[in-house]
A and B are shown apart, each in its own frame.
Chain A
Amino acid sequence: MSSGIATLLSIPASTSAPGEASHSDLQALKDQANMSMPQIELPEEEPIEESALDRLSHYPYQVFVLSEYGRPIYVSCGQEDQLCAFFALIGVFVNRVRHNGDMLNSISSKDLHAHFLFRKPLILCIVSKRRDQLRSQLEVLFNQILSTISRKQLETIYEKRGDNYDLRRLLGGTNKYMDGSLSSWHYDLAQISSAIRVLPMEAADRNALSTTLVNSITSANVEGMLFAVVLAHRQIVCLSRLKKHLLDHKDLSLIINLVSNTSTIADAAIWTPICLPFFNDSGFLHAYISSLWENSPAHLVLLSVDRNTLKDLHLIKEDFCAKIQSSPKILNSFEAAVTSPQSFSPSNIGTGSEMLWHFLYRNISSRQICLSASRPPFIGQEERVLLTRSASRVYDILRSVDGIRQIFVRNKKEVLYVKAEDRYELQCVLSPFCSPTMASILGDRLLKALKTYEGRYFITHVPSF
């Protein structure tokens, strides 16, 4: 890995003959980026003879969750029971190494990578044909499990019910959230950058909205009320918090996962206990989730510590909705932002913008990302998958090697330019004929433009109540 990075960094910055540009190590990165999407649609009726394991090898990746004792809990393709033996094997791999006072992290071969995560009493394992961010995926999945069963519960459950307890009984019905958590790694750049995305909105409008939200909450004065979040399209519109309490971005993405994978919210509000492991991993909060109005993609999430506050929270929501609807200015701007968000267009940076095809900006302290609006040539499904792949790869490199400040990679179809500073990380995908100098100029111009429109694309202030 490190040698690959070294080559990456040693790419000559000057324009060079074609001979110098290609390099076997670089090729690996190119292949990553150019690989067509390995999604295979399996036939509906699977032949009975085909063993479950043979089936697995067709998937690009597979995630297994099992108990410390090898009891199957979850597999991303479903039908855990058919794979009992394989679960047991994973269990033995991990336990055997633990027995030696060590911890198995991964087994990898040329094009198959297995990562293991042991979080007592669970073992998580991912087997993937790609190697990027496998550990992060397992950690996020574990958080997802914790959001259903708190760590405290998890630790005691096997003591109470015996080693052979089937945890699936407790997790019943949450498979879709786990599926959602895993699949988001393949399309949601917010998940890949382990950050959250903010719905573009004028700063004044957003402030008005959050002020209204805070007003509604303070006027209701509900005991135990902690956080309020307005979400739309897996993006944050605004949020507010109880004084002295902060909502971690990882918890926030759990909430986003919960909302985006619950199909019933569109019609009615739901009331569910949720454990936010980065807020408190031993207890549960209670979440009131409701769409703001019928068929609205925008949802209000209210979090309270008290399980008896459902009615009060409902009232806050009613009050908030009424306040918005009574103010046409807020309503209009809010609706416009939700139905047709003004994504940051590369043309904002002026001349040379036609070279800039895509960018991803990530603010490190606030964990917020800004994404460029879609433009050709990355239009089709597979074309956009290239972008997520490349982002995933870049983050993997940035996390695994310290001190990388800039990356410039000439690929066949595009040029990749990455700038990593203490405050932000910027990834740009540019025209293949963009020179390093030009890429750097465009990057600086882009940063300047983002600063100008900071209020629209980032939440800079979280009001408290």
Chain B
Amino acid sequence: MLTLGDESISFEASSSLSDNFYDNTNCKVCTVRGNGSMGVTFKGLKGDSCNLRIKDVGKIKIAKISPSGRVASVQRNENAVDFIVLESGDRENCIEFTQVVSSRSGLIRQVEWITSNQIVFITNNGLELYDVNEEKRNSKLVKTLNVASDWSTCYHPSRLLLLATGVNAATMQPFIIHHGQFTRLKPFAVDFGCSNSKKKLLERDVTVSSIYGSIYVLALRYSTRDSSTSDLLMYKLSADVNQPAKLTYTLVLGLTGMFGIHVIDNLVIVHHQLSRSSLIFDIGLDLNNSAHQPFLTTSLVASSRLCSIAGQSPSLYTPSWVMFTPNVVIDPFMGIFASLKVNPEKAIIEDTVLRLRFLMNRTNQKITVLNELSTAIRDRLKLRLIQQVLEIMVEKNAVSKIPILRPSDPTRSQLLCEDLQLLSIEQDDMVHLFVNIKEHPNISYSHLASVMLAYISILKVREITVQPYLYEVLVNTLVLAGDFLKLHQLINYKVVSDSKPMAYLLVSLEAKYSPLFQSGVDMLVREGATDEIVEVLLAKGNVTDALRYLENHGSLDRANALKALDAIWQYGDRVHKYGIFAHCAEKKGKQVWNEQYEKFSADFKRLYSEEEIIDAEKEVAFSKMRKFISPGAASSRSRLVQEPPRPGAASSRSRLVQEPPRPGAASSCPLILDTNTRYEIVKNDSSLILFPVIAQFRQLQDPRLTREPRVANVE
């Protein structure tokens, strides 16, 4: 997962003729040949380079370019820095001007560009801030501060300067340089495992970086006793300048030897030279745990680009490597300047949840996360685990919505850190994911529905409005799963929020599970959608209920009445038509409705013919039932010749008494036995015990019992 050299360039390796410097402000490698007289080259990873030539007036100790790239600073003397104005075109004879340190005894240790025209000299006894004016070709002292230090390191994105002070250089004194001011933060001591063999904290053991939206000072601590307890201490700088930095995390290395530290995408990567491996730490996996073990140990892989520059198999983890944060590796002897890239999707993590959490912490991994999640759901990962993942996901999404508060007062010094890009997976993305899974063959719909429910429940706990289409997908999935009971419950308990489209969806599901129709209509009632209710009821042919509803909520107007009549004429029988029309006619009163109504009216008059009515009156009055067929009269009562009982009769014998004539219905249908003393509901086969008679008869009828061949003794 760690690829070295996706961006890599080669430069002239260090030799007696040339020196190399790393410009941490601009992330460039500077090659100085012949103390500048043979040329100075700044090379960036992108392949951008800048060449100039200066006079050879002494060995160059530090060479840097201003962030704007218009002024180069080189330190040849211990107490002065020369500025070279880089004009476009002629770089052969550049104009130089020199700035000598203001304090008499000051020796320059380090030079850091703060802005394009401000530079700070770190001398052995203080800081000196200068304005560099390239137009006037001079520089002016802005501010000085007396502070003794062993070494310094600068974190440019925050304009943070860290000075190592104290006896063993273990007291860190951070400064923020802002608007020409030095803001002194609270100093703090770094534990580096001070021992006789290691008396001072070295610059190379300290790294400053921004991780998960906070600035950390990372310091390697070598064990005093044995190497196995080496660790990396992470001191978190407080945003409040008055609070000292605090030891927040300890990254346990458990190795000894040379370490190189990179911080990429909030991951702390510790390269170990001896074992040729890289330990990866992600404090985001458990922010509350102060001691972290590497959750992944891997090795660097050379990219094809690096291979093309440095030969087929470039040697990795060589002792000559120099590493700079955030992700730069320089091999001054090979002349290779390369960047390290993390490919989180290639990380091999067995634990699906851990893998998902790891991926969710990375930037720009939304697609990978969604794909992984989709696979996990399809593979029926345990619901509890998926729930964990979803919870983190929703949390991250919620946090990413909170706008980052910028300091209202720009003049005040603030510890600024890099913007944290949180993974933002919206409900839209999840719905898309669920829909995709749903269309996948061979998946468990009920599991998918449970996952959706878990998601919805997490959203609800956080009081996030659930999008209606999520409910729609949930309902559809439950339908596919055939889990109508659950669906019904969800709707009854208002887990699925009301909406008209949802109500229609439920109504349309009636064919699959009839109580849903009622749920849908109830939802429409709650939505107060009178017209829709009437529409739905009419479409179902439930004209009576439609009109009853209209009666209670509003009035029966012409349009509705005609719709109702239309529906009943389509579905209803005569009695039903009569009732509906009579009601409509009564409601109509003396109003004049259109000819369509007249058509129904004419039809209504023809519903019952005069003769029919007279016949019926007579039959009722005379207690007669014309054409009534009694079962006795249906078949002729003439006695047939007695037929021998057929075997078929025996098989259906029990059927008539015990089961409805429909085949297959028997299994779901218990028998109720009622005697003077008992009232029992018996499931089909338990009746064998409860009702010995039935058992006896079944035995008699069972051909396997009666026809069982007797085993005759042959001998």
Contacts and interface: CB of A to CB of B under 8 A. Distances in A.
B18 interface: no
B542 A412 contact: yes
B656 A127 contact: yes
Given A104-B675, A432-B548, A85 B650 contact: yes
A431 B579 contact: yes
B549 A51 contact: no
A343 B657 contact: no
B314 interface: no
B648 A380 contact: no
Contacts, number: 255
Interface stretch (B130-138, B382-390, B416-424, B623-631): B623-631
B613 to A, nearest CB: 6
A325 interface: no
Contact of B660 (A76, A109, A375, A378): A109
Contacts of A19: 518, 521-522, 525
Interface in A386-420: 386, 410, 412-414
A269 interface: no
A433 B548 contact: yes
Given A54-B652, A183-B628, A85 B645 contact: yes
A153 interface: no
Q: Is the interface of B mostly helix, strand, loop or mixed?
A: helix
Given A78-B635, A354-B582, A371-B620, A108 B672 contact: yes
B635 A431 contact: no
B693 A92 contact: yes
A179 B632 contact: yes
Interface string B363-393: 0000000000000000000000000000000
B645 A84 contact: yes
B670 interface: yes
Interface in B501-552: 518, 521-522, 525, 533, 537, 542, 544-549, 551-552
A219 interface: no
Contacts of B631: 59-62, 76-77, 182-183
Interface string A67-96: 000000000111101111110010011001
A127 B627 CA distance: 23
Contact of B632 (A54, A84, A175, A187): A175
B179 interface: no
B675 A103 contact: yes
A42 B634 contact: yes
A79 B642 CA distance: 9
Contacts of B525: 17-19
Nearest to B612: A379
Contacts of A81: 639-640, 642-643
B348 interface: no
A56 B574 CA distance: 32
A211 to B, nearest CB: 25
Contact of B521 (A18, A374, A386): A18
A110 B578 contact: no
Contacts of B675: 97, 102-105
Q: Which of B547, B640, B657 has the most CB of A within 10 A?
A: B657
Given A79-B640, A112-B659, A376 B578 contact: yes
Contacts of B546: 18
A377 interface: yes
B656 A379 contact: no
B575 interface: yes
B656 A106 contact: no
A102 B676 contact: yes
Interface in B594-625: 607-608, 612-613, 616-617, 619-625
B549 A41 contact: no
Interface string B639-670: 11011011011101111111111000110011
Contacts of A56: 656
Contact of B672 (A53, A106, A297, A377): A106
B689 interface: no
A412 to B, nearest CB: 5
A182 B630 contact: yes
Given A61-B631, A233-B623, A431 B583 contact: yes
A127 B674 CA distance: 14
B548 A384 contact: no
Given A21-B545, A186-B625, A379-B616, A175 B637 contact: yes
A54 to B, nearest CB: 6
A32 to B, nearest CB: 15
Nearest to B533: A18
B636 interface: yes
Nearest to B666: A109
A28 to B, nearest CB: 14
Interface string A341-360: 10100000000001000000
Contacts of A86: 649, 653, 656
B613 A197 contact: no
Nearest to A197: B623
Interface residues of B, number: 85
A111 B660 contact: yes
Contacts of A78: 632, 635-637
Contacts of A188: 623, 625
Contacts of B692: 96
Contacts of A183: 628, 630-633
A381 B518 contact: no
A276 B607 CA distance: 46
B560 to A, nearest CB: 14
B197 interface: no
A287 to B, nearest CB: 20
A384 B626 CA distance: 11
B518 A109 contact: no
A235 interface: yes
A233 B546 CA distance: 42
Contact of B657 (A17, A82, A89, A105): A89
Contact of B552 (A17, A96, A375): A17
B677 interface: yes
B70 interface: no
A23 B109 CA distance: 90
Contact of B582 (A77, A182, A431): A431
Contact of B634 (A18, A41, A235, A377): A41
Given A57-B652, A89-B697, A433 B617 contact: no
B693 A96 contact: yes
Interface string A445-463: 0000000000000000000
A433 B580 CA distance: 9
B613 A374 contact: yes
B547 A433 contact: yes
A383 B578 CA distance: 12
Given A233-B621, A431-B579, A53 B656 contact: yes
A46 B630 CA distance: 18
A190 interface: yes
A431 to B, nearest CB: 6
B495 to A, nearest CB: 18
Nearest to A50: B648
Contacts of A40: 634
B5 to A, nearest CB: 70
Contacts of B654: 89
Contacts of B655: 53, 57
Q: Which of B577, B579, B652, B675 has the most CB of A within 10 A?
A: B579
A179 B630 contact: yes
Contacts of A377: 574-575, 577-579, 607-608
A170 interface: no
Nearest to A179: B632
Given A60-B631, A233-B621, 12 more contacts: A42-B634, A52-B649, A54-B648, A86-B656, A92-B693, A182-B631, A374-B617, A376-B608, A376-B613, A380-B612, A413-B575, A432-B548
6 contacts: A19-B522, A57-B655, A234-B623, A297-B622, A377-B575, A381-B628
The 3 closest A-B pairs by CB, nearest first: A183-B630, A179-B632, A377-B578
